[in-house]
Structure 1
């Protein structure tokens, strides 16, 4: 989604427009979740950080300053700070050791091979992509960069980046559906 659309949605959110905020969430949550998950490595923590970040975005939408960067960059910085706070909290917090018998309860749920099988299939399919497609998809979906940020990172035209990502995602979809 382009900068102007995100700016309009954020401005409307700052005025209390819940639908605009829902649209902003719908358009950006995937990228912000990717940033959070990459930093934290645990889905439940990444989801918690994402929720906290959107609460902060809702309450601080009026504080966005157009001249200091794009809306998405501002939102990513909020997610990063929330994730860093979570990392600090997890590091300081001491977990109580599990009592005898509790480990077996957790192992019952961990032994499900589903997510690992899906990850292996995704890794295999990613390996079949052309290097430039793989790099563009990795920057956009694993690092949470917008298409424009990928352009800046790779120093290539926007149309080229969008084509690589679109074709790569189509190839991934075909590969994953087999």
Structure 2
């Protein structure tokens, strides 16, 4: 059987879903497609990836091959070249936009800064919505890292009262967060 007749037969069988025909076709042309991609891309990993893409396309569209338009090698070369050009364009576009973006580390820092400011503003707003004694107790306990005993001395209140102020203050903070849409009814963040 001539190579041309064999290729036509293999492509017809691939079009019908034959795995064996696809494997035979792949064995016959994988090196050709890989070398074509490597010549254009100059990157072995990219060439392998493109080779994979081309053969997936062959598997899905084998029935689109028309022998009157050229040889199987020409058909594969055109497919490979097209995929390479598409990939190079995408890479060029990504590089163009990536040039204008700050490095990922800086972006994370910017995002973290914005989130920290939002959280700080939210905490300040929510703290402003609870009674003064509760606000002092919660602020002292969580933001100044004072113990209950230190707070009791600073606020000139009994220890049990300070513990209750912290507990009720947290409860009221949760209610404020729910009202502001920052927490579910259970008080957990969304």
TM-score (norm 2): 0.49
Q: How much does 1:24 deviate?
A: 0.1
> What is the SS of the residue equivalent to 2:56?
helix
Measured in 2, the distance between the counterparts of 1:65 and 1:42 equals 31
Show the counterpart of 1:49.
50
Measured in 1, the distance between the counterparts of 2:35 and 2:104 equals 30
Decide which structure has the larger Cα Rg and report it: 2
Show the counterpart of 1:74.
75
Show the counterpart of 1:164.
none
Structure 1: stretches of 5+ with no match in the other structure: 100-178
Show the counterpart of 1:6.
7
Q: How much does 1:72 deviate?
A: 1.8
Measured in 1, the distance between the counterparts of 2:17 and 2:72 equals 17
Q: How much does 1:79 deviate?
A: 0.8
Show the counterpart of 1:147.
none
Measured in 1, the distance between the counterparts of 2:21 and 2:73 equals 15
Measured in 1, the distance between the counterparts of 2:83 and 2:68 equals 23
Measured in 1, the distance between the counterparts of 2:21 and 2:57 equals 16
Show the counterpart of 1:90.
91
Q: How much does 1:73 deviate?
A: 1.1
Measured in 2, the distance between the counterparts of 1:4 and 1:27 equals 14
Measured in 2, the distance between the counterparts of 1:80 and 1:3 equals 22
Measured in 1, the distance between the counterparts of 2:41 and 2:34 equals 10
The runs of at least 4 consecutive aligned structure 1 residues that moved more than 4 Å come to 95-99
> What is the SS of the residue equivalent to 1:93?
helix
Work out the number of aligned pairs and report it. Answer: 99
Q: How much does 1:98 deviate?
A: 8.6
Q: Deviations over 1:44-65 (max 9, x none)?
A: 1111111111111111111111
Q: How much does 1:4 deviate?
A: 1.7
Alignment RMSD = 1.9
TM-score (norm 1): 0.52
